Structures are given as structure tokens and as C-alpha cells.
């Protein structure tokens, strides 16, 4: 089987596999990039290439892409949450960024419908301008609405499940589904959803006083800046909190703040954050995670579970 070769001499995918990728993205009106480096699309600034990365122009584009990837039997991975580490060899198949799906619509009863690619900071700003309360818990979360639903993102003030009324999904066969919140099983940093791409979310908010909402958001943003390493690339909290404890406290108590592997570094500001000090690889991050988990298990018997989602080829 023949391979295509870049001008620098490196091989890409076999011709037959490449043809399947081309058929999967045929007619898509948005951005299509083959062999796209995913470090440009992750908050960690880490990650190998996607076989093909697609930014659909709109929901219709997502439907077309879903049908065609299904026909070609190709895997689909949707970027959007910040709590992701992409391995160094990247992701096979089709990777989707919903960056162009960023419309926000207001509906009666203090409901906002946000397309999947809307950033949470943008959504919170919109809610504040409309004096709508209920999203203050998400202040400082940089991910998209879709990513926050899939991960059931949360802070000490609340979780995504507290705001979701329903989720709009494009199924793997291109069908559009409205899934009510009652049909979704929300867990700690995870939501059990029907398979497909989350293209929009209905959020049930409530009327509030704008100045009060702004104060809560401002105060919580200040708290995050004071206690979290927001100036360096990271993927947020690495470990889930063990029962009746804090993962950050456990890691700090073990004297692991400042521990490094390559440019991957346990933050000295918050021990449940691993930051990229410049040129960290996924291999560096995973080695550091193993080092931390092994030390904690040996010293305390606690088996720290990952909150971070690790994807792609090693």
C-alpha cells in the first residue's frame, strides 16, 4: 500500500486511509486541516497531530460530517474541554473543534441556548449583561459549553448539571436529538450522554441583580487568580478529590509541589495542577503523574484517580 510523503520526507497515512478521511470531510464548508498539530488547540499546549481536524461552519456542517464519518467508519473526537491531555502521537481519525458554533439565543423563562463552541467566559458575560444568575460557579473556566457539559465541569460553587435544562446532540448517523437534563446521568466530572456531538445546550438561569452577579464573579475570579497557576498552560485539576479530602492537599502534604519531569511541573501555587513550563511533552506529563501517584500510594495508601482525560496514541 502506497504512502503519501511530506516534502520533509516524513510519511503520513497510507493512501487508502487518506482517501477515507477525504471522503469523510468532503463538502464540509468549515476549516479542514490534515495532519494538524493539536497543541494549538489544547489549553496544555501539548499534543501530536490529528489525522484531520475539522471546524464545522455550523450545525448543518456537523450533520454532514457525522453522516460521512459514520459511512467511512472513522472515529470522531470532539475537542472543547480544557481537562484533556493529547498524547504525543496525536489522534487517529477525525478531530472536531466547535469553535465556529458560537451563537447565543435567549428564550422565554430566563433560558439561554448556547451553541457548543461558545466559551464559558463569553456565556457568563452574556448572562451578566442580561442580569441572569446561575452561572457564577463557572467564573474562570476557559472551556466551551459543550466541553463543560461532557465533563460536568465544576468548581467549589457548583457544577454544569446545576444549569443544564437540555442538550442538543447530533448523533453518529447525523440525527438531531434534544436530550432533557433528566435523561442525563451527571457524575463527578463526567456526564453520561447519548453518543454524538453536543452542538448546543439550553441553560436554565434565573433573574438576578446585575451588580450582585458581577460581584460574585469578580470575587471568584480573584480567588482563582490567587490560588491557581492561570498564567501557565495547564489542563486544570489533574486528580479527582479523594473522599472527604482534597487532591491538592494530599499532593502538597507529600512534599511534591515543584516536582518536575522535563518541562512538566507540579505547580507551587496549587499542587493539583501540572503546568507546561515551555516545551513539555505528553510523555513528560504522564511520567510526572505516575511519579506523584506512586509516591502518594506508597506514603498514604490513597490511589488518586485522574480527573484529566488522556486521549490519543502513545
For 58-97, how does the pLDDT look when each residue is reduced to its tens digit (9 = 90+)? 999 999 999 999 999 999 999 987 899 999 999 999 999 9
Same fold, 3-97 and 229-311: no
pLDDT at 6: 38
> What CATH architecture applies to the domain 3-97?
2-Layer Sandwich (3.30)
Q: pTM (2 decimals)? A: 0.90
User: Does residue 124 register a pLDDT over 50?
Assistant: yes
Topology classification of domain 229-311:
3.90.78
For 19-54, how does the pLDDT look when each residue is reduced to its tens digit (9 = 90+)? 999 999 999 999 999 999 999 999 999 999 999 999
CB of 169 within 8 A of CB of 197? yes
| Mean pLDDT within 99-110 | 97
Q: How far apart are the first and last CA of the chain?
A: 24
Q: Where are the alpha helices (DSSP H) in 7-82?
A: 15-25, 59-71
For 6-22, how does the pLDDT look when each residue is reduced to its tens digit (9 = 90+)? 333 334 567 888 999 99
Query: Distance between CA 94 and CA 24 in Å, rounded?
Result: 8
pLDDT at 13: 60
For 190-231, how does the pLDDT look when each residue is reduced to its tens digit (9 = 90+)? 999 999 999 999 999 999 999 999 999 999 999 999 999 999
Query: Distance between CA 194 and CA 179 in Å, rounded?
Result: 8
Q: Is 185 exposed, middle or buried (0-12, 13-18, 19+ CB in 10 A)?
A: exposed
Domain range summary for the chain, segments of one domain joined by +: 3-97, 104-212, 229-311
pLDDT at 99: 96
For 245-278, how does the pLDDT look when each residue is reduced to its tens digit (9 = 90+)? 999 999 999 999 999 999 999 999 999 999 999 9
CB of 135 within 8 A of CB of 175? no
Which CATH number describes the domain made up of 104-212? 3.30.465.10
pLDDT at 10: 38
Q: Longest Cα pair distance anywhere in the chain, in angstroms?
A: 65
Reading the block at residue 102, the C-alpha cell is 458560537
pLDDT at 12: 52
For 146-175, how does the pLDDT look when each residue is reduced to its tens digit (9 = 90+)? 999 999 999 889 999 999 999 999 999 999
Amino acid at each position: 500500500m502506497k504512502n503519501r510523503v511530506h516534502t520533509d520526507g516524513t510519511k503520513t497515512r497510507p493512501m487508502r486511509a487518506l482517501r477515507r478521511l477525504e471522503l469523510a470531510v468532503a463538502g464540509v464548508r468549515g476549516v479542514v486541516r490534515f495532519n494538524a498539530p493539536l497543541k494549538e488547540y489544547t489549553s496544555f499546549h501539548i499534543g501530536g497531530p490529528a489525522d484531520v481536524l475539522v471546524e464545522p461552519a455550523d450545525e448543518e456542517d456537523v450533520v454532514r460530517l457525522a453522516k460521512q464519518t459514520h459511512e467511512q467508519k472513522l472515529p470522531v473526537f470532539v475537542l472543547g474541554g480544557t481537562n484533556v491531555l493529547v498524547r504525543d502521537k496525536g489522534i487517529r481519525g477525525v478531530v472536531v473543534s466547535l469553535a465556529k458554533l458560537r451563537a447565543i439565543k435567549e428564550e422565554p423563562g430566563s433560558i439561554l441556548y448556547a451553541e457548543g463552541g461558545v466559551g464559558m467566559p463569553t456565556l457568563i458575560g452574556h448572562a451578566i449583561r442580561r442580569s441572569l444568575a446561575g452561572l457564577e460557579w463557572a467564573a474562570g473556566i476557559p472551556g466551551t459549553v459543550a466541553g463543560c457539559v461532557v465533563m460536568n465541569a465544576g468548581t467549589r460553587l457548583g457544577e454544569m448539571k446545576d444549569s443544564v435544562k437540555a442538550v442538543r446532540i447530533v448523533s453518529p448517523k447525523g440525527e438531531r436529538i434534544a436530550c432533557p437534563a433528566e435523561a442525563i446521568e451527571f457524575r463527578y466530572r463526567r456526564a453520561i450522554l447519548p453518543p454524538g456531538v453536543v452542538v448546543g445546550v439550553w441553560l436554565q438561569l434565573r433573574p438576578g441583580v446585575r451588580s450582585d452577579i458581577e460581584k460574585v464573579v469578580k470575587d471568584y475570579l480573584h480567588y482563582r487568580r490567587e490560588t491557581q497557576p492561570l498564567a501557565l498552560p495547564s489542563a486544570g485539576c489533574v486528580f479527582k478529590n479523594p473522599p472527604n479530602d482534597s487532591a491538592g492537599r494530599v499532593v502538597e502534604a507529600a512534599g511534591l509541589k515543584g516536582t518536575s519531569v522535563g518541562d512538566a511541573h507540579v505547580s507551587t501555587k496549587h499542587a493539583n495542577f501540572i503546568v507546561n513550563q515551555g516545551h513539555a511533552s505528553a510523555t513528560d506529563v504522564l511520567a510526572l503523574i505516575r511519579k506523584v501517584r506512586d509516591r502518594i500510594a506508597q506514603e498514604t495508601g490513597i490511589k488518586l484517580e485522574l480527573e484529566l482525560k488522556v486521549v490519543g496514541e502513545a
